[in-house]
Amino acid sequence: VREKDGNPLSLKFTTTTAQFRQTWAAVAEQNLADCGIQIIRLHTPASWWFGDSTGLQRRDFELGAFAWVGQANPAGRTLYACNQIPLPSNNWEGQNYMGWCNQEASQAIVLANNTLVRDERAAAYNIVEEKFAEDMVSLPLFQRAEAEAWSNNLLNFKPDPTEYSSANSWEWELADGGDTIVAGFSQEPSSMFTLIVSAAVQRQAAQLAVGNMWTQYNYDYQPVAQDELSTIENGLAENNMIDVTAGDMVYNADGEPEELAEGTQIIVDGETISYDGTSTVQLPELTVTYKVKPFTWSDGTPGSSDDIALAHQIECDKDSGATSFITCEAMASQEYGDMSTTVTYLPGYQSPTYFLFPYGEIYPSHQVLSDGRMLKDVPAAEWQTLPEIAEQRLSYGPFVLTEWSKGSRMVMEANPYYEPAPKVNQVIITFIQDTNQAVAQLLSGDVDYLERATLGGGAEVQTVVDAAAEGKVNLEIIPSPTWEHIDMNLFTK
C-alpha cells in the first residue's frame, strides 16, 4: 500500500449489499490493491445509501459506487452542474454527489438541457464529456447487460432498456388463472414518497401502487395518466419569441432565474452573451398546457385539478426534501383548468422535455389524515414522515399498497377504480437479498419474476440461462443504458 509520512493510501468505499456489486467490488478492490491503493469496503442497505437524508444525498462517503439509470433523455444537469452540489446551505438540493464544479462543464450541461435544437445539445454534451474525462472525478466502470427472468406462467411481461418492467403491471396475467403475482427484489424502498427518493426499486414500487404520469419505452415517451404529450406540434405548447429588457425575470445561462441586469449571462441563438443593461433582446417563452386523464383515487374519490395544484404546492416547496427544483424555479406562472394546468415558463427556459407533465406525481387534496388534518394543509416539511405519504398511499395507479412488512414484503391489491382493470388481484414484492436464493425461488415457482437489479450480472445468471435454454423459465438479457460508476467525493463532511 502506498503511503506518505506513514499514512497509508486507504479510502472508504461505499455501495449497496446487492450481490453483483459485491462481486465486482471484490475485483475492484484487488485491482486497486495492485496499484497500491487500499479500499475499505462498506456494503450498506440500499434504503440507507439512497435515502433522502442519508448516504449519497448527504455525501456521506469517500468513494461511492452506484448506477445512473439510462433514460430516453440524457439530462444530467442535476448530476454535473455547479449549483447542484448537495450542501447544508442549499438544503441538500441536487445530485452532484462528487462536489464537482467545472464552470465550463457546468454551463455546457445547462445549455444541453436548455435548447430544443438537437445539434446544440450534442455540442454541449461533448464539452461536458471532455471536461469530465479531464478532471476524472468519477470512474465509469461498465454499462450493464441486465437480465430479467420470469416464469412461463407470467404473461404480458415487458422488459425494456429504458423503462421498468413494472410500468405495464395492469396487463400482467397468469396463464393458470391465478390471482397473485410474486416479484423478487433484492432491495427495499426507503419510502413511497417518490419526490425524495432516487432508488430504482422505489420507482418500480411506485409505478405499481401510486401511479405513473408517463413511460419511456424504447428511448421514447408515452403518456399514461398524462392525457397526451404536450407538444408544440399538437398545439398544447407554444414557444414564442418575446421582448425582454432590464428588470424582467429571465432564465440565465447558469440555469437559474434572475432579474435581467447589466452583466446577466443569457443564451441568445445558442450563444451565451452578457447583457449590456439597456437593450431590448428577444428570448423564447414556452407556454405549455398539461392535461391529466380523468381518474378515480383508490378510495373512490374522483381526481381533480386541486390534486394537480397540490403537486405544485408540495414539489416546489423548498422544505419538501426534493433533490431538485429546476423545473419549479423556471415557472413564471401557473393556471388551472379542468384536469389541466397551463404553465408559462421564464423567458429563456427551453427544456427538451417540456412536453412531459412537470411534477413527479399528483396528490389527493381531499385526503383526511389520521390526525384529522387535510393533507393539503400539511406543511411540505412534514410530508416525508407522514404515514399517508411515506407508506400508506392512496393510489391512482393499478394497485394499492395494503401491507408493508419491513424487511420482508410489500403486498399490493388491485385498485378497483383503475382503468383498464388489472388482470390479477394481488402483487407481492418479496425482499430476497441473496441472489442465489432468489434464483432458487424463481426456479421452484415461489417467485414469478426477478427484477433486473435482483438478478444482477453475476455467476447466478448462468443458472437462469441454463434453465431458460431448457424451457423452464423466460429470460431476457437487456443491453441496458444503465451504467455503474465510482464517484469520488471531492470534500467530505
Mean pLDDT per 10-residue segment, the chain (493 residues): 94 93 94 96 94 92 93 91 93 94 95 91 96 96 90 97 96 98 95 91 97 96 98 98 98 95 93 94 98 99 98 97 92 97 98 97 98 98 97 98 98 98 99 93 97 80 95 92 94 62
Please state the domain count of the chain. 3
| 394, part of any domain | yes
Residues 137 and 7 placed together within one structural domain of the fold: yes
442/461 Cα distance (integer angstroms): 12
Q: Considering the chain, what percentage of its residues have pLDDT values greater than 90? A: 88
Q: Which of 142, 168, 194 is where one domain is finished? A: 142
Structural contact between residues 39 and 12, judged by C-beta atoms closer than 8 angstroms? yes
Q: Which of 142, 165, 180 is where one domain is finished? A: 142
483/142 Cα distance (integer angstroms): 6
CA distances from 24 to 18, 39, 144 (A): 10, 13, 12
21/454 Cα distance (integer angstroms): 11
| 381, part of any domain | no
CA distances from 307 to 203, 355, 400, 466 (A): 20, 19, 18, 49
Report pLDDT digits (tens) over 346-366. Answer: 999 999 999 999 999 999 999
Structural contact between residues 15 and 61, judged by C-beta atoms closer than 8 angstroms? no
Residues 150 and 130 placed together within one structural domain of the fold: no
Residues 72 and 130 placed together within one structural domain of the fold: yes
Structural contact between residues 331 and 346, judged by C-beta atoms closer than 8 angstroms? yes
Residues 26 and 137 placed together within one structural domain of the fold: yes
Give the model's pLDDT for residue 431.
97
Contacts of 234 (CB under 8 A, 6+ apart): 228
Neighbours of 124 (CB within 10 A): 22
Task: Look at residues 210, 101, 196 and name the one whose alpha carbon lies nearest to residue 166.
Answer: 210
| 345, part of any domain | no
Give the model's pLDDT for residue 378.
98
Residues 163 and 128 placed together within one structural domain of the fold: no
| 177, part of any domain | yes
Residues 274 and 395 placed together within one structural domain of the fold: no
Q: Is 224 exposed, middle or buried (0-12, 13-18, 19+ CB in 10 A)?
A: middle
Q: Which of 142, 164, 183 is where one domain is finished? A: 142
Range of the domain at 210: 146-219+387-479
135/490 Cα distance (integer angstroms): 11
Structural contact between residues 252 and 272, judged by C-beta atoms closer than 8 angstroms? no
- Specify the residue for cell string 383548468: 337
Task: Tell me the backbone φ, ψ of residue 455, rounded to 5 degrees.
Answer: -70, -35
252/263 Cα distance (integer angstroms): 11
| 369, part of any domain | no
130/5 Cα distance (integer angstroms): 35
Contacts of 31 (CB under 8 A, 6+ apart): none
Structural contact between residues 278 and 284, judged by C-beta atoms closer than 8 angstroms? no
Which residues on neighbouring strands pair with residue 334, listed in sequence order? 343
CATH at 470: 3.40.190.10
Report pLDDT digits (tens) over 173-202. Answer: 999 999 999 999 999 999 999 999 878 899
Contacts of 251 (CB under 8 A, 6+ apart): 114, 257, 258, 266, 283, 330, 345, 346, 347, 348, 349
| 473, part of any domain | yes
Give the model's pLDDT for residue 492.
60
Give the model's pLDDT for residue 144.
84
| 429, part of any domain | yes
For 237, the grid coordinates are 405548447
The whole-angstrom distance between residue 416's C-alpha and the CA centroid of its chain comes to 28
272/263 Cα distance (integer angstroms): 11
Residues 257, 262, 266, 268, CA torsion sign: positive
Give the model's pLDDT for residue 402.
98
Residues 214 and 254 placed together within one structural domain of the fold: no
| 130, part of any domain | yes
